[in-house]
Amino acid sequence: MLPRSRGARVALAGVVVLIAALALAGYLYRRDRTGSIYHPHAPFVAQPTPTLPPTHSPERQNWPNYGYTKNHTRFFPAPESVRPPFRRLWVRNEHALLEFPPVIHDGRIFQLADDAVLSSISAQTGQTFWTKPLGRLSASSPAVTADAVYATVLATGNQAEPGRIVALNPTTGAMIWQRSLPSASESSPLVDNGLVMFGSQGGTVYALDARTGAVRWTYHAGGAVKASPSLSGGVLYFGDYSGHLQAISERDGSRIWISSSEGTLLGSGTFYSTAAVIYGRVYLGNTDGRVYAYDASSGRLDWAVQTGAYVYASPAVTNAPGLGPTVYVGSYDGTFYALNARSGQVSWTFNAHGRISGSATVVGRIVYLAALGGHNTYGLGISTGRLLFREDTGSFDPVVSDGTDIYLTGQTGLYGFAPR
């Protein structure tokens, strides 16, 4: 073998150094992008646990929005009596996938199935008041007030009209107004201060006049906005498919801040999860496998916990006895997590024996989740993770309540349950 020249040896050494540098960069990228991050001294704002609002009809409460409250904490402060064991009151088959839960107003349940048929149902009997076809495909919850029920459409069946939002009379189902959208929407609408707010797959966030459907303002994000915007203190929070979390003004849609997931090189994953805003923080999941907590006033990252698989689910947050403020969220790794809301540390886990795609809901001191992999719905004690309820149906967002009974969204069936 001929001896290598000095130049060849230098070139070979350079290649070796380059390979080592690339390997190190790949390791650091994987570690920084997919590992857990903790900032233990980040600000945390203590807040009292919500209670049921005063009402003239204490027997049944309204559940007007996806996630119950406008800040989407997915916590319903039910009376102690609303807990397992339950007896089944009624069941109805919608003959279509039920991917998102219904909303409730004045004793009526409003369920939007994936075939874009909106139904008004008696909470007591499960009987139908009216049904209304809105298009070909929907993947969201409606929002309801005393004056209207609002719903977004993912596919209308008309190529010239990719998306649509409608407002219907909640008593009769009659159309109040509808607006065509230049892109589809699977964002559950949020109603506040005379505005209906929602996102679209084209990256546009809309604020429409709730009475007329007229556009008040729009905001353009860098990617599809599939989540429902979350509202706290006059600020809307939402993630998008460019991997950014954004805070904008409810009044005029102007940007307040924008933040990424602090990934390196290729950036973050995508945000499908609807944010929960409480304790001065914004909590949501990401397809990079992390659950994130950001400072609500600045967008600074407080912590990020890696689960090992997609986190499509929206977190539920409440103050659990014995644990304190806690974030509840499921992952495609099949594990359901209870995380310390301040630090991000794991308080307990539950093996759902199948990937979790939908979002959990806390009703009183029970957290309900559904496993897409096993098509089961579970109810766990919020402080211990102990199994208290199981129903062999369900895939996505399982339970809402009116403070008297609970209503479980199965794969295609809607179930009414009452405490025994």
Q: How would you classify the pairing of strands 324-330 and 413-419?
A: unpaired
Alpha-carbon distance values, 197 to 109, 286, 313, 414 (Å)? 21, 22, 21, 27
Assigned token pair, 161: 């009209």
The DSSP secondary structure of 47-90, one letter per residue, reads -PPP-PPP-S-TT---B-BTTBSTT---EE---TTS-SSEEEEE
pLDDT at 15: 53
Q: How far apart, in whole angstroms, are the C-alpha atoms of residue 139 and residue 137?
A: 7
pLDDT at 376: 93
CA dist 267 to 21, 30, 123, 246, 263, Å?
A: 20, 11, 46, 16, 5
192 bridge partner residues: 195
Locus of tokens 């704002």? 45
Q: How many Å apart are CA 312 and CA 302, to the nearest integer?
A: 20
Q: What is the pLDDT of residues 69-117, one digit of tens each?
A: 999 999 999 999 999 999 999 999 988 999 999 999 999 999 999 999 9
- Chain CA centroid to CA 119, Å: 22
> Cis link prior to 85 (omega < 30° from 0)?
yes
Assigned token pair, 163: 């998306």
pTM: 0.89
What pLDDT score was predicted for residue 264?
A: 35
pLDDT of residue 2: 47
The CA distance from 245 to 242, in Å, is: 9
Report the alpha-carbon distance of residue 342 to residue 359 in Å, rounded: 20
Mean pLDDT of successive 10-residue segments in the chain (420 residues)?
Answer: 54 55 45 69 80 58 96 95 95 92 97 97 96 96 98 91 96 97 97 98 98 98 97 97 96 95 57 97 96 96 95 96 96 97 96 94 97 92 97 92 95 94
Which tokens go with 65? 């929005």
What fold, for 61-131+231-419? Methylamine Dehydrogenase; Chain H (2.130.10)
